Structure 1
Amino acid sequence: MATRSARERIQQERAAEKSREKRRRGFVVGGTALAVLALAAGIGVLAANAGKDEPSDGAAGPVSAPAGAGGKDGLAIRVGAADAPSTLTVWEDFRCPICGQFENVFRDTFHQLEDSGQLKVEYHLATIIDGNMGGTGSVRAANAAACAQDAGKFPQFHDVLYENQPEETSDAFGKNSRLTELAGKVDGLSTQRFTDCVDKGVHDGWVSKSAAAFRTGGFAGTPTVLLNGTPVFPKKGNENITPANLKKWVAEANKGKQPGKAGAPGA
């Protein structure tokens, strides 16, 4: 009986892993059905959430931008060389499951393009899931990510947050203790200064300003991804976004241009 139970458990685990891998492959391949579903999910979240996170704006306090923030109104956190010839603009919510799938699939591609000076990624943080699902995890995680930027550790902490993203309905990121715990996965980030920044919500006002910019920016949902100003998620023209296609699009945009060489804050 025990042997049968163990065997059944192993079979169930294998089936679950196969299911997860199938979903991952579908996203990588960029199948039309999944791409449309991803975009529709983002639109649905935004439509159902319009205005719901506005009350936090008034209570967020003064705007304190993280170190090195740039772009329009100082709302972008850049990863990659400042003089890279192409720019990928990404609007994300750390609680957004499609954002998590997107980042976990494209992470290595982003880093390869950043490290080679071909691409810089400008991250903008949104908080729509808090309004849709309740809780404060989007805001708290965004503030913590901004605190990590102060410490020069944004890219690493950004990746850790998505690698450890809770279920959309869970507000685990709403607990500062969970965020400071995850900081332990980033070498040199777990400091008293970082903990104080997270606990005091030093960048809450900046996060609120970024969230307001997302709401009024005419975006369809998260993630919103633009390459040199052109939308590329879930597709660019008739081509679905995949790691291979993203590399191709960047190469086409950079033809005849020199790769960037300047260092990037937090990189």
Structure 2
Amino acid sequence: MDNDAPEVLPTKNQRRQATREKAKELRDAQRKQEKRKRVFVQGGIVVVVLAVIAGVAFILTSAIRPPAPGPMNMASDGIVIGSELEAVETPALAAGAAPVATSVDPKVPNIRIYVDYLCPVCGQFENANAEQLATWAENGTATVEYHPIAILTGRSAGSQYSLRAANAAACVANYSPNNFFAFNTLMFESQPEEGTEGHSDEDLKKIVAQAIETDAGTAPAGPVQSKVESCIDDASYKSWVQSATDRATTQAVPHSSLDKVKATPTVLVNDKQYTGSITDEKEFQAFVLSVASETYAKSSPSPSPSPSSSPSPSAPAPAQ
């Protein structure tokens, strides 16, 4: 046996498949845990009361919270994922500072997605389009910008899952940004049902560990994972998530015609809202290609009398 044979590293597709398998294991464990918890719940009235209390507490604390600094790599209140699924690095927002909207490059379409990790429709959109989004971003033919917000905080049986999940996303963006896409994919592949307590903080840490393991080689796992876990324990970006959610749901969406984010997922392609089928990946693909071509045409100079041919738009190609 040759002990000097080079180690064969898993391909991206193999790592994604491993991610899906681990997500299924976590999802199955979550369902078993929720089933055990239901045995001890004495009627739905308890859940309703807890949810109402949590919602009132969230409103009260939102009204009196001080400004808080944001995570690195989320200067727009979102994280931009580009070539090789790597994040675009940006400095952290100072406490009270206004976010800086991402500028659209006519040659590289920007797909901006506002998500709540408890939102079932967000899960449907991700399940239908995650592979296509990954292909576009990985090839550098589009950027994918995720804005985690928490509009369903009061719908997780008092656990504030939406808020905790968005905080975990901010922690990953700050300490391990190049693992964000894998983390986001896992969060939706193992998404809990609305009305349940959702994942515990320990579950969220396991998802972080899986994301880092899936994209092994992008960063030293041990120190990075430890920092993300401490960030989750301390709810380091909880106040920032609340502020980002307030901005998204009460202020005009930058560079678009929307006066605010009214629901999740809100999907914008080069600042134009997608209103088609959430679960039809071909319809979404066609929309992205159409908007990309339109943006490119508007940015191109007027044709001259010269017989030279005009360039074609650098629109995303379909996933293979």
Give the TM-score range, shorter chain: 0.5 to 0.7
Map Cα deviations across residues 30-66 of structure 1 (whole Å, 9 max, x no partner): xxxxxxxxxxxxxxxxxxxx99843342566552322
2:271 maps to 229
2:162 maps to 138
Q: Which has the larger radius of gyration?
A: 2
1:220 maps to 262
Task: Give yes or no for the alignment of 1:123 onto 2:146.
Answer: yes
Q: How does 1:55-70 map to 2 (within 5 A)?
A: 55-58=60-63, 62-70=67-75
Counterpart AA for 1:142? A
After the TM superposition, which of the residue ranges 246-255 and 147-156 deviates more from structure 2? Answer: 246-255
Question: In structure 2, do the counterparts of structure 1 residues 134 and 249 end up closer, same or farther at CA, with 3 Å as the change threshold?
Answer: farther
Counterpart AA for 1:104? N
Normalising by structure 1, report the TM-score.
0.67
Question: In structure 2, do the counterparts of structure 1 residues 60 and 138 end up closer, same or farther at CA, with 3 Å as the change threshold?
Answer: farther
Map Cα deviations across residues 85-120 of structure 1 (whole Å, 9 max, x no partner): 211111110000000110111001111111222211
Question: In structure 2, do the counterparts of structure 1 residues 220 and 191 end up closer, same or farther at CA, with 3 Å as the change threshold?
Answer: closer
Question: In structure 2, do the counterparts of structure 1 residues 259 and 102 end up closer, same or farther at CA, with 3 Å as the change threshold?
Answer: closer
Q: How does 1:16-55 map to 2 (within 5 A)?
A: 53-55=58-60
Counterpart AA for 1:182? I
Map Cα deviations across residues 169-190 of structure 1 (whole Å, 9 max, x no partner): 11223x2111112222121377
1:65 aligned counterpart, secondary structure: coil
Counterpart AA for 1:171? E
Q: How does 1:100-179 map to 2 (within 5 A)?
A: 100-135=123-158, 136-150=160-174, 151-152=176-177, 153-173=179-199, 175-179=200-204
Q: How does 1:73-112 map to 2 (within 5 A)?
A: 75-81=77-83, 85-112=108-135
Task: Check the 8 A contact 2:71/2:173 in 1, yes or no.
Answer: yes
Question: In structure 2, do the counterparts of structure 1 residues 51 and 121 end up closer, same or farther at CA, with 3 Å as the change threshold?
Answer: farther
Normalising by structure 2, report the TM-score.
0.57
Counterpart AA for 1:127? A
After the TM superposition, which of the residue ranges 155-164 and 249-258 deviates more from structure 2? Answer: 249-258
Task: Check the 8 A contact 1:146/1:154 in 2, yes or no.
Answer: no
Task: Check the 8 A contact 2:148/2:169 in 1, yes or no.
Answer: no
Task: Check the 8 A contact 1:56/1:208 in 2, yes or no.
Answer: no
C-alpha distance in 2 between matches for 1:66 and 1:52 = 24
Is there any run of 5+ residues in structure 2 with no aligned partner, and where? 1-54, 89-104, 214-220, 252-259, 298-311
Question: In structure 2, do the counterparts of structure 1 residues 167 and 68 end up closer, same or farther at CA, with 3 Å as the change threshold?
Answer: same
Question: In structure 2, do the counterparts of structure 1 residues 52 and 88 end up closer, same or farther at CA, with 3 Å as the change threshold?
Answer: farther
Counterpart AA for 1:169? G
2:206 maps to 181
Question: In structure 2, do the counterparts of structure 1 residues 68 and 178 end up closer, same or farther at CA, with 3 Å as the change threshold?
Answer: same
Task: Check the 8 A contact 2:115/2:265 in 1, yes or no.
Answer: yes
- 1:195 Cα deviation after fit: 0.9
C-alpha distance in 2 between matches for 1:61 and 1:176 = 24
C-alpha distance in 2 between matches for 1:85 and 1:117 = 8
1 or 2 for the larger relative contact order (CA 8 Å, sep ≥6)? 1
CA RMSD of aligned residues (A): 3.0
Question: In structure 2, do the counterparts of structure 1 residues 202 and 108 end up closer, same or farther at CA, with 3 Å as the change threshold?
Answer: same
Task: Check the 8 A contact 2:155/2:194 in 1, yes or no.
Answer: no
Map Cα deviations across residues 226-265 of structure 1 (whole Å, 9 max, x no partner): 11111113369xx9973542453355245645589xxxxx
C-alpha distance in 1 between matches for 2:161 and 2:285 = 33
- 1:130 Cα deviation after fit: 1.5
Structure 1 runs (4+) greater than 4 angstroms displaced: 50-53, 58-62, 81-84, 257-260
Task: Check the 8 A contact 1:119/1:250 in 2, yes or no.
Answer: no
Percentage identity across paired residues of the two chains:
25
